[in-house]
Amino acid sequence: MAKVDAGRIPDIDDDLGSSAHAASPESGTHGTHDAGAHGDRHAGTASSAARTGKLGRKSASVKRKAHTFSESKKNTTETDSTFDGIDAVIPQTAKMQGKALSDLTPPVANPENPALTQSDKSAARRQKITTSIPNTQTPAQETYESVFSALAPKGPAKKIKRTGTPTILMKNVSMIYPARPNEPALEDVSLEVYPGEFVFLVGHSGSGKSTLLKLLTREIVATDGHVMVAGQELGRMRNWKVPYLRRQIGCVFQDFKLLPDKTTYENVAFTLECIGKPRSVIRTQVPEVLRLVGLAEKTDMYPDQLSGGEQQRVSVARAMVNRPPLLVCDEPTGNLDPAISLGIMKLLERINRTGTTVVMATHDREMVDSMKKRVVALEAGHVIRDQEGGGYGYYGAL
Q: Does residue 357 sit in helix, strand or coil?
A: strand
Q: What is the H or E stretch that residue 180 is in?
A: none
CA 22 to chain centre: 111
- Which amino acid, residue 124? A
C-alpha 32/C-alpha 52 separation (Å) is 28
Give the number of other CB atoms < 10 A from CB of residue 115. Answer: 7
| CA terminus-to-terminus distance, the chain | 98
Nearest CA among 146, 349, 277 for reference residue 269? 277
pLDDT of 353 higher than 80: yes
Q: Which residues of 225-248 are buried (b: 16+ CB within 10 A; e: fewer)?
A: bebbbbeeebeebeeeeeeebbee
pLDDT of 20 higher than 80: no
pLDDT of 27 higher than 70: no
CB 295 within 8 A of CB 317: yes
- For residue 379, the cross-strand partners are 382
Give tens-digit pLDDT for 146-187.
Answer: 666 766 776 666 667 777 889 999 999 999 999 999 999 999
Q: Higher-confidence residue: 369 or 61?
A: 369
C-alpha 222/C-alpha 178 separation (Å) is 12
From the DSSP assignment, how many helices (H) and strands (E) are in the chain? Answer: 11, 10
pLDDT confidence band for 43 (50 / 70 / 90): very low
The region of weakest confidence among 55-59, 136-140, 211-215, 242-246 is: 136-140
C-alpha 62/C-alpha 54 separation (Å) is 12
Looking only at the bridges linking them, the beta strands covering 232-233 and 224-229 are antiparallel
pLDDT of 214 higher than 90: yes
Q: Average pLDDT of 234-246?
A: 93
pLDDT confidence band for 93 (50 / 70 / 90): very low
CA dihedral 65, 68, 70, 71 (to 10 degrees): 180
CB 359 within 8 A of CB 201: yes
Q: What is the pLDDT of residue 377?
A: 94
Nearest CA among 392, 356, 351 for reference residue 375? 392
Q: Which residues of 356-386 are buried (b: 16+ CB within 10 A; e: fewer)?
A: bbbbbbbebebbbbbbbbbbbbbbbbbbeee
pLDDT confidence band for 118 (50 / 70 / 90): low
Q: What is the pLDDT of residue 395?
A: 54
Alpha helices (H) in the chain, listed in sequence order: 10-22, 35-96, 101-104, 118-132, 209-216, 242-246, 264-274, 279-292, 308-320, 338-353, 365-371
Give tens-digit pLDDT for 281-316.
Answer: 999 999 999 998 999 999 999 999 999 899 999 999
- Residue 213 burial by Cβ neighbours in a 10 Å radius (0-12, 13-18, 19+): buried
Q: Average pLDDT of 19-48?
A: 45
Give the number of other CB atoms < 10 A from CB of residue 330. Answer: 20
pLDDT of 62 higher than 80: no
**CA angle at residue 126 from 123 to 132, to 5 degrees?**
145
